[in-house]
């Protein structure tokens, strides 16, 4: 069966990819890793300071040692100020930021909080701030009360320079962080970020449909034995390796994004048996993630549009911005095979099929993108006009067999407007396709 090429390249799964994605969804890993790193860096600088003092003492350069000690004492005032002010600065900055994030989540969708958590600049800023504070404390411990240059064991000069460098880096990151946080409150940036994440999922999804394999009856099933939650992702590399090792084919029964409870069948086994521990390659969490969830981006865009169209907000322009991105995303999938995908063994994926994973069909994605927004668009000609234009654009791109759900939504939208808008002129205006909604 031929596998058509597409404009978006497919990136093969990697062993540590799920772990990396799960760590990105946490806020503790980067700060802890940075503090460990800065502790090692301080230890190296402290050793260098000790070596410099010992070398100068062996050479009889006691005056130079005394001069270095004077410079270090002058720097001590700065280091002390940094250590006392940095934690207060961190608390004030992030308190204000959390208020901004809370406002953004209330205005757009609670699910955009994960954008703040996954933001690299946010984690880098928090990590550098904490590392600077920790470094200043460690440097203060290196100062000694001895004033005789013949008896000194160390002068924390390199450590003090490193602290000043970290302060400068903190200031630069603070400016970048404030800019990033302010952008988070702008709907255009939020919608663009969601779309970018959604396109990354397309890159990780095989660009071909699974063959119609005759798997027969399953020879076994693996049940979910952990806590209830959302199926976040699966470690494809581990499952393919386990299936190859035991000579079987595995099929993921629920879709990514499904809610599963203990006892739910997760993997069907064909052609043999596998140990129960193989089910550990399936990750269940408290919320959906972008890692392998092709429909999560559409879900978030639809949520933002629905909130914008609610009577309490009444912001159809935001809904139109979401529709722009929904059309963009569906357009990228217009000619791409969807549904179940297969993963084969071997580096080039040319070996036997070892894992079959179900995924959303074209109709599922179209319904997710348009159904709920369409139901709230009767009172907003801006939204109905943009949706009609988007559907028409998609109809011009999709193959004939994929036109049905688009035509269905177009017909339902026309019927909704005709049923709810009393004036003929208003109906005609609301049903005129317009890519800007209302110019």
DSSP-assigned letter for residue 257: T
DSSP string computed for 78-124: HHHHHHHHHHHHHHHHHHHHHHHHHHHHHHT-GGGHHHHHH-HHHHH
Q: Which of 156, 133, 134, 136 is closest to 144 using CA atoms?
A: 156
The DSSP symbol for 376 reads T
- Mean pLDDT, residues 174-202: 87
Who wins on pLDDT, 129 or 146? 129
The DSSP H or E segment spanning 357 is strand 353-357
Percent of the chain with pLDDT strictly greater than 70? 93
- What separation in angstroms does the CA of 85 have from each of 71, 79, 114? 22, 10, 29
pLDDT of 5 above 60: no
Give tens-digit pLDDT for 34-46. Answer: 999 999 999 999 9
pLDDT of 207 higher than 70: no
- Burial code (b: 16+ CB inside 10 Å, e: under 16) for 273-305 equals ebeeebbebbbbeeebbbbbbbbbbbbbbbbbb
Does pTM surpass 0.75? yes
Query: How many Å apart are CA 156 and CA 75, to the nearest integer?
Result: 9
Residue-wise pLDDT for 179-189, tens only, equals 888 887 788 88
CB 322 within 8 A of CB 305: yes
* Dist CA 281 CA 287 (whole Å): 17
| Most trustworthy range by pLDDT among 63-72, 221-230, 366-375 | 366-375
DSSP, collapsed to helix, strand or coil, labels residue 12 as coil
Q: Let me know: does 387 contact 275? Beta carbons within 8 Å.
A: no
Q: According to the model, what pLDDT value does residue 2 have?
A: 36
Residue 412 has pLDDT above 70, yes or no: yes
Q: What percent of the chain has pLDDT over 90?
A: 36
* 261 HSE (CA, 13 A, CB side): 0
Instruction: Calculate mean pLDDT across residues 352-362.
Output: 87
Query: Among 8-17, 161-170, 284-293, which range has the highest average pLDDT?
Result: 161-170
Phi, psi values for residue 348, rounded to 5°: -95, 5
State the DSSP H helix or E strand holding residue 268, giving kind and residue range, or none if neither: strand 265-270
- pLDDT at residue 306, rounded to an integer: 92
Q: What is the pLDDT of residues 235-269, one digit of tens each?
A: 888 898 888 888 889 999 999 999 999 999 999 99
Taking the CA atoms of residue 39, residue 47, residue 67 and residue 166 in that order, the dihedral angle to the nearest 10 degrees is -20
163, 79 Cβ separation under 8 angstroms: yes
Contact yes or no for 43/159 (Cβ under 8 A): no
First to last CA, the chain: 46
Q: pLDDT tens across 12-63, in order?
A: 566 556 777 777 778 888 899 999 999 999 999 999 989 988 888 888 888 8
Strand, coil or helix: what is 406?
A: helix
| 161 pLDDT higher than 80 | yes
Strand pairing category for 341-344 and 259-260: unpaired
- Label each residue of 270-300 as H, E or C: ECCCCCHHHHHHEEEECCCCCCCCCCHHHHH
Are the CB atoms for 345 and 240 separated by under 8 Å? yes
Whether 291 contacts 234, CB under 8 Å: no
């Amino acid at each position: 069966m031929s596998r058509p090429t597409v404009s978006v390249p497919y990136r093969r799964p990697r062993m540590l990819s799920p772990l990396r994605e799960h760590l990105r969804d946490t806020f503790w890993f980067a700060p802890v890793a940075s503090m460990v790193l800065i502790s090692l860096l301080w230890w190296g600088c402290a050793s260098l300071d000790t070596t410099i003092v010992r070398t100068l003492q062996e050479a009889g350069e006691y005056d130079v040692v005394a001069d270095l000690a004077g410079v270090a004492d002058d720097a001590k005032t700065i280091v002390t100020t940094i250590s006392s002010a940095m934690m207060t600065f961190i608390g004030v900055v992030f308190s204000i930021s959390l208020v901004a994030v809370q406002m953004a989540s209330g205005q757009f969708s609670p699910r955009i909080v994960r954008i703040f958590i996954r933001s690299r600049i946010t984690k880098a800023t928090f990590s550098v701030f904490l590392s600077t504070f920790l470094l200043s404390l460690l440097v203060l411990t290196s100062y000694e009360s001895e004033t005789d240059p013949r008896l000194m064991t160390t002068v924390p000069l390199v450590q003090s320079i490193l602290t000043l460098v970290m302060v400068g880096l903190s200031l630069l990151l603070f400016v970048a962080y404030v800019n990033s946080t302010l952008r988070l409150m702008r709907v255009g940036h939020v919608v663009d970020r969601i779309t970018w994440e959604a396109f990354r999922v397309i890159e990780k999804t095989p660009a071909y449909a699974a063959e119609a394999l005759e798997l027969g009856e399953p020879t076994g099933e693996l049940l979910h034995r952990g806590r209830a939650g959302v199926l976040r992702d699966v470690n494809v590399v581990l499952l393919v390796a386990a299936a190859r090792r035991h000579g079987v084919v595995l099929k993921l029964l629920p879709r990514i994004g499904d809610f599963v409870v203990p006892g739910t069948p997760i993997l069907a086994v064909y052609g043999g048996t596998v140990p129960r521990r193989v089910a550990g390659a399936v990750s269940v969490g408290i919320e959906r993630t972008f890692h392998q969830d092709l429909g999560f981006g559409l879900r978030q865009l639809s949520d933002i549009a629905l909130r914008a169209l609610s009577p309490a907000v009444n912001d159809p322009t935001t809904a139109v911005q979401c529709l722009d991105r929904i059309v963009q995303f569906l357009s990228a999938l217009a000619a791409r095979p969807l549904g179940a995908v297969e993963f084969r063994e071997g580096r080039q994926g040319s070996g036997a099929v070892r894992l079959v994973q179900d995924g959303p069909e074209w109709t599922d994605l179209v319904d997710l993108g348009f159904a709920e927004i369409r139901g709230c668009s009767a009172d907003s000609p801006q939204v109905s006009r943009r949706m009609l234009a988007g559907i028409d654009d998609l109809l011009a791109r999709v193959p004939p067999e994929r036109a049905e759900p688009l035509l269905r939504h177009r017909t339902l939208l026309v019927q909704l407007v005709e049923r709810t808008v009393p004036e003929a002129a208003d109906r005609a205006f609301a049903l005129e396709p317009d890519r800007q909604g209302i110019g």
